[in-house]
Structure 1
Amino acid sequence: MLKHQTVGQVVREAAKAHPATEAYVYPEHGIRKTYKEFDQETDHLAKAFMGMGIEKGEHVAIWSDNKREWLQSQFATGKMGAVLVTVNTNYQENELKYLLQQSDATTLILGEEFKGTSYISIIQALCPELEHSEKGELVSDVLPHLKRVIVMSEKDYPGIFTWSEFEAFARGVSDDQLNSRMKALHFDDVINIQYTSGTTGFPKGVMLTHMNIVNNGQIIGDFMNLTHEDRLCIPVPFFHCFGCVLGTMAAVTHSTTMVIVEQFDPKKVLQAVQDEKCTGLHGVPTMFIAELNHPDYESFDTTTLRTGIMAGSPCPIEVMKKVIHDMGASEITICYGQTESSPVITQTRSDDAIEKRVATVGKPHPHVEVKIIDPVTMEEVPAGVPGELCARGYLIMKGYYRNEEATHAAIDIEGWLHTGDIAVMDEDGYIAITGRIKDMIIRGGENIYPREIEEFLYQHPSILDVQIVGVPDPKYGEELMAWVILKDGEMLDAEALREYCKGKISYHKIPRYIEFVDSYPMTASGKIQKYLLREMSLDKVEAEAK
């Protein structure tokens, strides 16, 4: 059964069922709070938002790493009905300006800085009017909707509320007023706007409802067999669906303890798993790779791990096997989806055979319809034939904020979301993602899926990570280029790697170009930006041709 609940009701339910269970732990700061305390904290913050004059449906942007204030704000806005607009931690001035303008945000909550970037300096540059504004009464030429800026600290900046000044607004709002506001919310209201990573064009604001994210979180946690006795380590960023749906929402819907790492660091994650006896761990493949290859990995005890999620980009089979066998996360699951589907469409089950868990992204969730179509004819294809994956159900976004054209391009007249991903369904209903439609490489009339070649090359003992992209070629239309990261201390050259491929994969699948690098261009949520790799590949090939 789907839940017809708001985000706020989920917190209330968890606090009522398991008041003494720890809701969250911040090991780096020695902070731990029970679900009863978390419910009280989020009530207090919900009243503060109301006391500031923020109405139901008003847009509140939040910009920081995984701070406690972020977590509290997610569920406090869920109680009083403001729409939380999540901001990528890597954003710079122009990107922030675009998001705040496009989202019509009236309020911005921000940390002071992130990895050397001063968020305060950026907002001051965007809104010089802050210098002479009364707090809460900003009038900005560039951001006409923005009225209030709140910082997650007690340092005083002109025109910006400190956190305690913000919290003080709660005093003017009664319990009855908050309860009335909570009753006025509907499960089908938009409660969250997440901006797509913008790998092509400008980012689009995905409008998600209580219904979308509460149920997606519930089902994700069900598939992980989460209970109030589990402790889930969350090092993935909150601003992304991975953090705030697969992470916090999946946990709260099951009264599970959230063990939170503010910024990903492999050693801090391993320390948290050991010290807090975590039973679950989330991460994108690059995070698990970093943890498994940390020089001190062997000194940490991860035997309490049982479950978790590896998602965000295709999961290398060899890495998955190590997470199961070396880390001990025997029930770890793979999830697949996108922000527009809030986000999970398919997931492996904890009792699936390892072959299914390493070679597929599982089966569709309950209450979700999936079909695979020929992207040219739009006709459904039979099992075993690649095509575009489409999904329909409760999980599909309301649309892109103020962008009807893009909404209609993504969701057809029958309500199917067209994902743009190439997938194959087997006879048992398990789905394998073989790439993005735009990532498919056509060499001499042959369709080549980068994932297949990447999986093969992962088996080379010297290779830590590998990405395959296509580059233009006058003879074949496209050729393959491999970007390879080697394990520490390993040596390998292009010719030796090609020799390794001969006789094992088809000649046309052996990369013509091979580059060795130390890292890939990444989004803040840990996704590899293949479009940037394609641009880099083109530059390399053109430079060599001169």
Structure 2
Amino acid sequence: MTDFVALLEQHARCQPEKLALRTAQRDWSYHALADGGRRAASVLQAHGIGAGDRVALLCFNTAGFMLALLGAWRLGATVVPINHKLQGPEVQYILAHARVKLCVVDGALASIAAHNAQSCGWLSTDTAIDGMPDFDAECAAATAMQGDVVLDGQSVAEILYTSGTTGKPKGCLLSHSAVLQTAMSAAASTSLTRTDRTLIAMPIWHSSPLNNWSLGTLLMGGSLVFLREYSPQAFVQTLSDERITFTFGAPIAYLAPLAVVGDLSVYDFSAIRLWAYGGGPLGAEMVRKLAQSYRNDRFIQVYGMTETGPLGSVLYPEEAQSKAGSIGRIGTPGVVIEVRNTEGARCAAGEVGEIYLRSPGIMLGYLDDPQATAKAFDAQGWYASGDLARIDEEGYLFIVDRLKDMIVTGGENVYSKEVEDAIAGHPAVQDVAVVGRAHPEWGETVVAMLVLKPQQNLSDEELKAYLSPKLARYKIPRVFEWRDQLPRTVTGKLLKHVLRAS
């Protein structure tokens, strides 16, 4: 098969001086980036890395991440991107579980490296760490590895770890073929071309900024601009200064500048042709607010998950307001989506079922977890997402809950997200989680755990009265628990297994 390393080399031959990557430190042409990947391969090989070894990347959005990735792939090694917001023991688990041989770490994360010093070999990037080999300096001094490389399409390119909302994170095995297909599908769904300038402001260790948008842009021969770490001010300033044409972010990435920066009219967003967002839908009013604030209504919603590349579905800009809250009705190019009921049949309009996906970008399975892998796929190779969605009369999908979070009380299904959304609408509520708790008569009872905004007060009865016209009686929580904070992952996902156990 054709692999990503070979395609990058082709760009380096055909458009050697074209900008491939811009960071705060320097610009990298396609020739320089390909040469840097060859130099990185020599450095990694000198540190004992070969085919089949695992190289962890614990970095911010820097050139070191991309060079180490390209170098590892040239050697036939597997990369393991790690969330830089994790703490020492969490990183230790991933390093051990993935059997990482070498970790390239940003110097700003020296304390995490020190905590895990005995876990594997270490190289520093971006900022030097005393006593640790300097990856950047060694790459600059290295001789570029010669020769072409042909990678096995089914060999493992990446081990991407899930956020661990149900326990320990699982390692998703993505092949070189899956990574390439993901980049191609993402590029096709957003019409990326060689003229695009893509801002990567979200952490590149996330599957979407990495596989969809970084690799998708390079695949098409476009230009990447890395923001080392997101901040609202730097985000809008870079969009304007760099004449960015495409970017991706969680909804909060677009909403935060409205509160922190304020008036955006002084920034020039006229080059933007498309804003992509994922990780949660936006309501119609919020879509209108963003369009007004950014003076551009080209917002596209993308849905997917680590296990699928991440590929899934798209809600296009022309649908954003009329179908606000939906994830779309059709898969990204190459992806087929079905919503199935508990008997395995396709759901009809108005029904709720589980989303199943099939595409070339889906993972090979979970690392060292055959039981979880078998549970994730049906006999025909469809991936069971665990997301429950309702289909409307026009075929659009609306996520209503995670399958494991659905509550069955007195024989009635209660979708926790629906209840959470209703409670979150109360002006005194800052954060909320809804879970089921075992009940001897009802099977489960609905429990809401809430965090109030500062200087706010709210009683159980006041909240029940607020919810009464919004929810059926059986959906209104029987128990309210007031908390100082709710446990979340570093990416903001609720740890409901922790809440259920509390």
Normalised TM-score (structure 2) = 0.87
State, as a whole percentage, how many aligned pairs show the same letter. 25
Aligned partners of 2:137, 2:417: CA distance in 1, in Å? Answer: 51
User: Do the aligned partners of 1:224 and 1:332 also contact (CA within 8 Å) in 2?
Assistant: no
Match of 1:531 in 2: 496
In structure 2, relative to structure 1, the CA distance for the partners of 1:65 and 1:164 (3 Å cut) is closer
How many pairs are equivalent?
499
In structure 2, relative to structure 1, the CA distance for the partners of 1:482 and 1:267 (3 Å cut) is farther
Match of 2:115 in 1: 122
Aligned partners of 1:362, 1:245: CA distance in 2, in Å? Answer: 22
User: Do the aligned partners of 1:224 and 1:350 also contact (CA within 8 Å) in 2?
Assistant: no
Aligned partners of 1:221, 1:445: CA distance in 2, in Å? Answer: 45
User: Do the aligned partners of 2:451 and 2:486 also contact (CA within 8 Å) in 1?
Assistant: no
Unaligned runs of 5+ in 2: none
Match of 1:198 among 152, 155, 164: 164
Match of 2:335 in 1: 368
For 1:290, the aligned partner's letter is A
In structure 2, relative to structure 1, the CA distance for the partners of 1:480 and 1:306 (3 Å cut) is farther
Instruction: Map 1:152-191 to 2 at 5 A.
Output: 152-153=125-126, 155=128, 157-158=130-131, 160-164=132-136, 166-167=138-139, 170-171=142-143, 174-176=145-147, 179=148, 182-183=149-150, 185-191=151-157
Match of 1:72 among 43, 59, 67: 67
Aligned partners of 1:428, 1:474: CA distance in 2, in Å? Answer: 41
Cα distance, 1:16 vs. partner?
4.7
Match of 2:193 among 227, 240, 246: 227
Unaligned runs of 5+ in 1: 128-142, 540-546
In structure 2, relative to structure 1, the CA distance for the partners of 1:466 and 1:167 (3 Å cut) is same
Matched position secondary structure for 1:236: coil
Match of 1:33 among 28, 34, 43: 28
Match of 2:42 among 32, 40, 47: 47
Match of 1:149 in 2: 122
Aligned partners of 1:211, 1:453: CA distance in 2, in Å? Answer: 40
Match of 1:393 in 2: 359
Aligned partners of 2:193, 2:385: CA distance in 1, in Å? Answer: 32
Match of 1:8 among 5, 8, 14: 5
User: Do the aligned partners of 1:48 and 1:169 also contact (CA within 8 Å) in 2?
Assistant: no
Matched position secondary structure for 2:71: helix
Cα distance, 1:189 vs. partner?
2.1
Aligned partners of 2:339, 2:207: CA distance in 1, in Å? Answer: 24
User: Do the aligned partners of 2:59 and 2:105 also contact (CA within 8 Å) in 1?
Assistant: yes
Could you report, residue by residue, the CA deviation over 1:242-284 in whole angstroms, capped at 9, with x for unpaired residues? 2211331222122332222222222221222222232323222
Normalised TM-score (structure 1) = 0.81
User: Do the aligned partners of 2:449 and 2:483 also contact (CA within 8 Å) in 1?
Assistant: no
In structure 2, relative to structure 1, the CA distance for the partners of 1:154 and 1:350 (3 Å cut) is closer
For 2:112, the aligned partner's letter is Y
Cα distance, 1:334 vs. partner?
1.5
In structure 2, relative to structure 1, the CA distance for the partners of 1:247 and 1:513 (3 Å cut) is farther
Instruction: Tell me the C-alpha RMSD between the 2 structures.
Output: 3.2
Aligned partners of 1:247, 1:519: CA distance in 2, in Å? Answer: 33
In structure 2, relative to structure 1, the CA distance for the partners of 1:7 and 1:423 (3 Å cut) is same
Match of 1:291 among 237, 254, 257: 257
Matched position secondary structure for 1:113: helix
Matched position secondary structure for 1:118: helix
For 2:253, the aligned partner's letter is M
Cα distance, 1:70 vs. partner?
0.9
Matched position secondary structure for 2:174: strand
Could you report, residue by residue, the CA deviation over 1:197-231 in whole angstroms, capped at 9, with x for unpaired residues? 22223222111012212221222122222223322
